């Protein structure tokens, strides 16, 4: 996880935090894994804790709404200079993601860290 929580690697919009609350009320504790493509495209997938197994090939990016957020190490190498911003848009989520029935889906936006933030995170 972040060595410096003042510069989070993943954050969530108010809309995403509200949808996380809705999903948690229905399913209990949840976690996220950033999908790398294939069936569900490149979207953040929301699962009940324990349903998606993470391991040595995954990086804990941080937490959003009390839910841990992971990404594969290989994918992290491409994204490590960016902050992930988890948002919500209308539509159906990934077929295995819990928010699907809500008529909304989580979406990953991003921004490149500033040079100062990269130095703080030890990326330079």
4-48: per-residue pLDDT in tens? 568 999 999 999 999 999 999 999 999 999 977 554 456 899 999
Residue 30, Cβ density class (10 Å: 0-12 exposed, 13-18 middle, ≥19 buried): buried
β-pairing, 30-34 with 67-72? parallel
Contact 46, 114 (CB under 8 A): no
* pLDDT for residue 44: 93
Asked if residue 121 has pLDDT above 50, the reply is: yes
Q: How many CB atoms lie within 10 A of CB 116?
A: 10
53-108: per-residue pLDDT in tens? 999 999 999 999 999 999 999 999 999 999 999 999 998 766 688 998 888 999 99
* pLDDT for residue 40: 46
The candidate with the shortest Cα–Cα distance to 33, out of 103, 104, 90, 106, is 106
* pLDDT for residue 117: 95
């Amino acid at each position: 996880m972040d060595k410096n929580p003042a510069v989070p690697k993943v954050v969530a919009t108010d809309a995403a935090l509200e949808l996380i609350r809705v999903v948690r009320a229905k399913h209990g504790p949840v976690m996220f894994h950033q999908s790398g493509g294939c069936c569900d495209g490149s979207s953040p997938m929301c699962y009940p804790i324990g349903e998606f197994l993470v391991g040595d090939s995954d990086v804990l990016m941080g937490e959003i709404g009390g839910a841990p957020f992971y990404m594969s190490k290989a994918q992290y190498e491409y994204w490590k200079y960016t902050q992930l911003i988890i948002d919500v848009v209308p539509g159906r989520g990934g077929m295995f993601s819990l928010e699907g029935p809500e008529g909304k889906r989580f979406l990953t936006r991003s921004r490149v860290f500033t040079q100062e933030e990269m130095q703080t995170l030890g990326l330079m």
